[in-house]
């Protein structure tokens, strides 16, 4: 089983996630995301070039966003995303034109500009 990396980038809630962002690591990734959201007003995930994400990671991102909204915090994914991540999220049906009902601040991570 290949691992993943969760590296704090700065003191403002920036995090780099890379490696196997898959079901076998989902529980640990979830715990780390919740911990960050509870401690920071704003969390921004940068997805590494070597990241391999599956459906469970995309679901974790949505869940983390909902948690942040509930706690009146900001959560997002950096606008520069690896093409493999964009293709995977598109294939999984996650890219959107507008956010879901939880997207009160207009910061849904799946609303993409010209990257569709």
pLDDT, tens digit (0-9, with 9 covering 90-100), for 73-86: 999 888 888 888 88
Confidence category of residue 38, pLDDT binned at 50, 70, 90: very high
* Four-CA torsion 43, 4, 80, 74, nearest 10 degrees: -10
pLDDT at residue 116 greater than cutoff 60: no
- Look at residue 104 in the predicted model and tell me its pLDDT: 78
- Look at residue 113 in the predicted model and tell me its pLDDT: 56
pLDDT at residue 29 greater than cutoff 90: yes
Q: Which helix (H) or strand (E) holds 21?
A: strand 14-21
The number of helices, as runs of H, and strands, as runs of E, in the chain is 3, 5
- Tokens representing residue 11 in the block: 């003191």
């Amino acid at each position: 089983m290949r691992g993943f990396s969760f590296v704090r980038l700065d003191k403002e809630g920036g995090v780099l996630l890379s490696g196997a962002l898959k079901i076998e690591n989902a529980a640990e990734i979830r715990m780390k995301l919740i911990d960050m959201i509870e401690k920071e007003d704003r969390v921004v995930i940068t997805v590494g070039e070597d990241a391999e994400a599956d459906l469970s990671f995309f679901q974790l991102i949505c869940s983390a966003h909902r948690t942040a909204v509930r706690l009146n915090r900001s959560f997002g994914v950096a606008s520069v995303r690896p093409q493999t991540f964009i293709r995977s999220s598109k294939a999984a049906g996650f890219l959107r034109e507008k956010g879901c009902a939880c997207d009160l601040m207009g910061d849904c991570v799946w609303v993409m500009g010209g990257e569709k």
